[in-house]
Structure 1
Amino acid sequence: MTGTNGNGNGAGNGNGHDPEIIGHRRGMFGANGTGDTSGYGRLIREVALPGSSPRPYGGYFDDVVDALAAALGEETFGAAIERVIVFRRELTLEVRRDHLVTVAQTLRDDAALRFELCLGVSGVHYPADEGRELHAVYPLTSITHNRRIRLEVAAPDADPHVPSLFSVYPTTDWHERETYDFFGIVFDGHPSLTRIEMPDDWVGHPQRKDYPLGGIPVEYHGAQIQPPDARRSYN
């Protein structure tokens, strides 16, 4: 199935292979197909991640994947890329975390790719995705070729470490700090991985799905702001 993306190129719009079911949601939000209209009964909806997509991907997506495979070499490409997913007219490359920096630098520097701009880092928490509970997502843009893709990397709760992309894309500096603050993903190699929203001594990461929704004590009570010469330095 093909569609048209933002710059007029055809791009796959299907889900690819069968989706990966990682859990079920119960309650009033987003569930269909039951006789309960109260919103509080037996409403159950699957939590599904899109599966790998078959060729052709559509539009420039095939060119990007082919160019990356050529630049990395087939053996390294096979070791680095877990899945290629085309979903809702977007291309996502799921990358094994040990290869993240190499893949990102190749995407930036290769003349056929030239994804010069990383637009940020988004954290995602899937408590039911066993061994892959924490995900980091990087939207990349090629100004040279007017293209957009996404990188996605996963890490387990028990070992929430992902290599920092600061050395490749310095603009990820504050985005990685925010993702660490809210999700607890540790970006190894970051020059100063500190909280930027929550206090330094805050316990937990508020945007994780296992974080309590209520009953949090007021932890600012009695707090004092240090004078400028005694505050944390980012140098």
Structure 2
Amino acid sequence: MPEMTPAELRARLAEALPAALVEAEPLAITPPPAHGPQPGLFNPPDPVVRPDQLVAAALFVRDTLGYAYLSDIAVVDYLHAGCFELVYRFYHPSGGPSIVLRVRVPRDEPVVPSLTPHWPAANFHEREAFDLFGIEFTGHPFLRRIYMWDEFEGFPMRKDFPRQGDKYLGGESEG
């Protein structure tokens, strides 16, 4: 079973795709949650890839390193830092621990190239991120809402989405 640490992955990516990696700043956890990590900086060990280099890095992970199974794409909303972080988790078909690629995009212009043309399973993960966070995936063949109805306004998983008085939950209606 293959086993690759984040540092080894970063070194392999730096050697093969020197323009792909970003030296990402640690992000502040603000405000701190009542449970879990307390105030401080969050600096994951996984490599952070430039959005425009995501496809090349993901294909390197698949075609060179053999991590062919894209398990999931998670989105983290760092409201106070003004960015979203997309977390791509890959597994090797023969087993072992996963490896992770991260991509950070600004909240006001969240655009990432689609992996769906290369991993058909990315389709629903990308549609979910589009529907719930408003992240655009360029090159996606059918980027439409997957959970919310077409007329729904906004993106309900963003930290700045209104939670009270929501017109969809029977609160006061607008206009």
- TM-score where L is the length of structure 1: 0.58
**What is the deviation of 1:182?**
0.4
CA contact (8 A) 2:14 2:21 kept: no
Distance 1:126 1:172 in 2: 23
- Note the alpha carbon deviations across 1:11-68, whole angstroms, 9 max, x for none: xxxxxxxxxxxxxxxxxxxxxxxxxxxxxxxxxxxxxxxxxxxxxxxx7324433433
Residues 181 and 202 of structure 1: is their aligned pair in 2 closer, same or farther, counting only changes over 3 Å? same
Structure scoring higher RCO (CA < 8 A, sep ≥ 6) equals: 2
Which range moved further: 183-192 or 141-150? 141-150
Aligned-pair distance for 1:114? 0.7
Q: How does 1:27-106 map to 2 (within 5 A)?
A: 60-61=4-5, 62-70=7-15, 72=16, 76-77=17-18, 79-83=19-23, 91-106=45-60
Aligned-residue Cα RMSD (Å) equals 2.7
The corresponding residue for 2:75 is 123
Matches within 5 A, 1:1-235: 60-61=4-5, 62-70=7-15, 72=16, 76-77=17-18, 79-83=19-23, 91-110=45-64, 113-130=65-82, 133-144=83-94, 146-218=96-168
> Does the CA-based 8 Å contact 1:180-1:186 persist in structure 2?
yes
**SS in structure 2 at match of 1:118:** strand
Question: C-alpha displacement at 1:214, in angstroms?
Answer: 1.3
Distance 1:156 1:174 in 2: 22
Distance 2:76 2:50 in 1: 16
Secondary structure in 2 matching 1:67: helix
Mapped partners of 1:218, 1:148: distance in 2: 39
Distance 1:144 1:91, change over 3 A: farther
Residue segments in structure 1 that go unaligned for 5+ positions in a row: 1-6, 10-58, 85-89, 221-235
Q: Is the 8 A contact 1:162 1:185 kept in 2?
A: yes
Structure 1 outlier segments of 4+, above 4 Å: none
Is there any run of 5+ residues in structure 2 with no aligned partner, and where?
A: 25-43, 171-175
Contact 1:181/1:195 (<8 A) preserved: yes
CA distance in 2 between counterparts of 1:156 and 1:68 reads 23
- What's the offset of the Cα at 1:145? 6.3
TM-score by length of 2: 0.77
| 1:116/1:141 contact within 8 Å kept | yes
The AA in structure 1 aligned to 2:109 is D
Q: Aligned with 1:65: secondary structure?
A: helix
Q: 1:147 to 1:83 in 2, by over 3 A?
A: farther
